[in-house]
């Protein structure tokens, strides 16, 4: 019997074995006793396991909606209000681990814990008994596939489209081993794009989707980066916009432009991106982002602009017209991106899970822009970076967003201003 003490950052529940080794459980909650479990990873000082039999179940335990919940959304076992509470408590714990004391932040949610994901990738499973292909996910902690016939984490249009692809494959008597996966994405209007990835062949180029975010229209590739939960993302953008306090705004991890263009398009806005494929989408969105303008009008308007000189040896793609201040999309190398930081500026950061590069933190501390708005999908690396920035900055606000309901993933926003 193993008693569960708490949930830790990362989403697992922590217990201690009789020999003193720690064990990290999926499918267990604080206060419960685990009498049976399946070990999925064994290390010298700890185990990772899936709890299979619970004694003294928590008052916050709920029945999971999907049989495959451990593969896709392991927090389906947690009461919805308790999930939101846990996420804010984990943010406090993570910042405390970096010697930053904060009060428990407010969490933003649209209260839709299911059918929110606009992108999903499925494995293909060969049912040898039925001689048919089935949709599948990988079992958590394993390379083994489990067939599924229902899933409630993604938008229903996506699951329906995936099932149609499977039905088509079966009608042609295809075999699962020929294919790597099915990738599908859905926009807010229910339009689905994507398809099959075939083994040993280049990934196909799928039709772009478009979505409206705070009055701006964005184009994006189904297999590129775009936010998973747009309704909650819009809540985050509205909060970010409240804290834009300068005319000059720099979006340093611009991606396809959804933050900077949504919150600061009317300011003197510079968007920097280092990935070439993301930059192509960013450039398109800079000139076709107005939701109330047709593509024909965009083409006509773009002809009025003149290209500026390229910066940093890259294709800047910045266009200006004498009476219009347009956003400046810039393709730059990582080290060159730092050159766009200046004092009288609001800097927006939305880095990958690894957080900000140390050179960027040093540059921010050197130049000291007026305000830093830091959105992160990994509060641990965010807290690490914020700890360094506190040498010259203070935390104005911290706000948490439940972008990924029924999972332990947390999106966190920190607003920093000069001391």
Task: Kindly list the distances between the CA atom of residue 278 and the CA atoms of 144, 176, 366, in Å, as whole numbers in the listed order.
Answer: 33, 31, 29
SS3 126: strand
Per-residue tokens: 170: 């079966």
* Rounded Cα–Cα distance for residues 119 and 314 (Å): 31
pLDDT in tens, 107-132: 999 999 999 999 999 999 999 999 99
Identify the CA nearest to 76 among candidates 65, 87, 85, 67: 65
CB atoms within 10 A of CB 411: 26
46/355 Cα distance (integer angstroms) = 27
- With residue 230 as reference, give the H or E element that holds it: helix 230-242
Strands (E) across 161-267 are located at 179-186, 192-198, 209-213, 216-220, 248-251
Residue 179 CA to residue 196 CA, distance in Å, equals 7
Q: Which of 309, 257, 259 is nearest to 281 (CA)?
A: 257
DSSP 345-363: -EEEE---TT---HHHHHH
pLDDT at site 318: 38
Q: Which domains does the chain have, with CATH numbers?
A: 1-61 (2.40.50.140), 119-198 (no CATH), 229-418 (3.40.50.150)
The secondary structure of residue 263, as a DSSP letter, is H
CA-CA distance, 368 to 344, in Å (whole number)?
9
* Closest listed residue to residue 415, CA positions, set 362, 369, 353, 358: 369
pLDDT for res 325: 67
Return the axis-axis angle of helices 295-302 and 276-287, rounded to nearest 10°: 100
| E strand segments, 69-131 | 106-108, 119-127
Structure tokens at 65: 């909606």
- Determine the distance from the C-alpha atom of residue 22 to the mean position of all C-alpha atoms in its chain, rounded to a whole number: 29
pLDDT of residue 92: 98
Three-state SS string across 29-77, please?
A: CCCCEEEEEEEEEECCCEEEEEEEEEECCCCCECCCCCCCHHHHCHHHH
Q: What per-residue confidence (pLDDT) applies to 141? A: 83
Q: How many residues does the chain have?
A: 419
Distance CA 325, CA 187 (A): 30
Q: CA 35, CA 182: separation in Å to the nearest integer?
A: 38
pLDDT at 196: 97
353 neighbors 377 (Cβ within 8 angstroms): yes
Print pLDDT tens along the chain (419 aa): 999 999 999 999 999 999 999 999 999 999 999 999 999 999 989 999 999 999 999 999 999 999 999 999 999 999 999 999 999 999 999 999 999 999 999 999 999 999 999 999 999 999 999 999 999 999 988 889 999 999 999 999 999 999 999 999 999 999 999 999 999 999 999 999 999 999 999 999 999 999 999 999 999 999 988 999 999 999 999 999 999 989 999 999 999 999 999 999 989 999 999 999 999 999 999 987 554 333 333 333 333 333 333 333 333 333 333 344 689 999 998 888 899 999 999 999 999 999 999 999 999 999 999 999 999 999 999 999 999 999 999 999 999 999 999 999 999 999 999 99
Q: How many helices (H) and strands (E) does the chain have?
A: 10, 22
| β 132-138/13-16 pair status | unpaired
Q: What is the mean pLDDT of the chain?
A: 91
Q: Tokens 């953008």 belong to which residue? A: 237
Residue given tokens 């004694």 in the structure block: 55
Q: Find out whether 246 and 344 touch, Cβ atoms under 8 Å.
A: yes
Residue-by-residue DSSP string for 326-342:
--EEEE--HHHHGGG--
- CA 50 to each of CA 8, 39, 130, 138, 396: distance values in angstroms, whole numbers, following the listed order: 15, 6, 29, 14, 40
pLDDT for position 143:
87
**And the tokens for 230?**
């747009």
Terminal Cα distance for the chain, rounded = 51
pTM: 0.90
């Amino acid at each position: 019997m193993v008693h569960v003490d708490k949930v830790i950052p990362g989403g697992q529940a922590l217990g201690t074995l009789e020999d003193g080794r720690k064990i990290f459980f999926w499918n267990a909650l604080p206060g419960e006793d685990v009498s049976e479990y399946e070990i999925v990873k064994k290390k010298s000082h700890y185990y990772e396991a899936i709890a299979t039999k619970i004694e003294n179940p928590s008052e916050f335990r709920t029945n999971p909606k999907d049989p495959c919940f451990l593969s896709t959304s392991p927090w389906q076992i947690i009461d919805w209000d308790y999930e939101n509470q846990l996420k804010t408590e984990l943010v406090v714990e993570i910042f405390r681990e970096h010697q930053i004391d904060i009060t428990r932040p407010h969490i933003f949610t649209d209260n839709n814990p299911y059918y929110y994901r606009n992108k999903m990738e499925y494995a293909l499973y060969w049912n040898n008994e039925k001689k048919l292909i089935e949709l599948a996910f990988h079992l958590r902690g394993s390379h083994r596939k489990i067939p599924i016939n229902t899933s409630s984490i993604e938008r229903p249009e996506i699951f329906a489209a995936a099932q149609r692809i499977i039905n088509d494959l079966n009608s042609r008597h295809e075999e699962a081993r020929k294919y790597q996966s099915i990738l599908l994405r859905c926009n807010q209007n229910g339009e689905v794009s994507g398809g099959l990835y075939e083994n040993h062949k280049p990934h196909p180029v799928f039709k772009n989707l478009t979505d409206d975010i705070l009055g701006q229209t964005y184009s994006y590739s189904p297999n590129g980066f775009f936010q998973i939960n747009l309704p909650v993302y819009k809540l985050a953008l509205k909060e970010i916009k409240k804290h834009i306090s300068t005319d000059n705004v720099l979006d340093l991890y611009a991606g396809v432009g959804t933050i900077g263009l949504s919150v600061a398009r009317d300011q003197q806005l510079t968007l920097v991106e280092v990935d070439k494929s993301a930059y192509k989408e960013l450039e398109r969105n800079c000139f076709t982002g107005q939701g109330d303008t047709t593509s024909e009008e965009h083409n006509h308007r773009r002809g009025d602009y003149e290209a500026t000189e390229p910066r940093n040896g890259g294709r800047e793609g910045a266009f200006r017209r004498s009476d219009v201040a347009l956003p400046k999309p810039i393709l730059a190398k990582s080290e060159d991106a730092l050159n766009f930081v200046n004092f009288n500026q609001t800097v927006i950061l939305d880095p990958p899970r690894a957080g900000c590069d140390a050179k960027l933190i040093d540059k921010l501390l050197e130049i000291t822009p007026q305000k830093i708005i830091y959105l992160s999908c990994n509060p641990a690396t965010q807290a690490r970076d914020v700890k360094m920035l506190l040498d010259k900055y203070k935390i104005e606000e911290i706000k948490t967003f439940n972008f990924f309901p029924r999972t332990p993933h947390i999106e966190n926003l920190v607003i920093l201003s000069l001391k």
